[in-house]
Amino acid sequence: MIDPHALFADWYAEARAAEPDVPDAMALATVDPDGRPAMRMVLLKGHDARGFVFYTNPHASLLFHWKSLHRQIRIEGAIERVTEAEGDAYFASRSRDSQLGAWASDQSRPLDSRATLEARYEAMRARFADGPVPRPPHWSGFRVIPDRIEYWQDRAHRLHERRLFIREGEGWTEGLLYP
């Protein structure tokens, strides 16, 4: 049986070589405390046997769609915060303007006007002047620890191939789904 993480690495490498736009883009689905779903595009910032890392809000299902390859991958599972060291390292890799933007934004909360956001950004520029911009205490990344990974491949006559991997203990079982 194929390891689903190894298969992801193979498909992801192909997407990085062939996808003309942003192969790191994935749809992130979340649910608020009232059960209201929301979805938006975020970027994959790392993956390994521990899971799939992104930097935004918690609680997730992920969907990669690589149109030029006629493929998609759906990942579901619990989430955990990345370590402080991982969060700090990624935050340090961002541009200074993006770092300042992280301080200025109350991500996904209501905003009364664009002018308010721009004023907050300018206030952060003044606050940190030419010094380093530390990672805000509210800002971190998350890792989806998959318990289900589905690989979908477009096929002729809508007879698509769907391979489903389900975590069982430390291993995985693999099966097929009807299109």
The verdict on 145 and 131 lying in the same domain is no
DSSP state of 49: T
Residue-range definition of the domain harbouring residue 99: 95-137
Catalytic residue among 143, 155, 158, 162: 158
Q: Does residue 39 sit within a domain?
A: yes
pLDDT at 57: 65
Q: Has 50 been annotated as catalytic?
A: no
Query: What is the number of residues in the chain?
Result: 179
Query: pLDDT tens-digit profile of 84-142?
Result: 999 999 999 999 999 999 999 998 889 999 999 999 999 999 999 989 999 999 899 99
- Assess whether pLDDT exceeds 90 at residue 55: no
Residues 46 and 131 in one domain: no
Same domain, 15 and 78: yes
Q: Determine what percent of the chain falls in helix, strand and coil, rounding each to the nearest 5.
A: 30, 35, 35
Mark whether 13 and 67 lie in a shared domain: yes
Same structural domain, 75 and 11: yes
68 and 117 housed in the same domain: no
Enumerate the H helices of the chain as residue ranges. Answer: 4-18, 84-93, 96-104, 114-128
User: Is 87 part of a structural domain of the chain?
Assistant: no
In three-state secondary structure terms, 23 is coil
Task: Report yes or no: 48 and 143 within 8 Å, Cβ to Cβ.
Answer: no
pLDDT of residue 77: 87
Q: Given a cut of 80, is residue 56 above it in pLDDT?
A: no
Quick one: pLDDT at residue 1?
82
Note whether 153 and 119 are same-domain residues.
no
CATH of residue 72? 2.30.110.10
Contact 145, 78 (CB under 8 A): yes
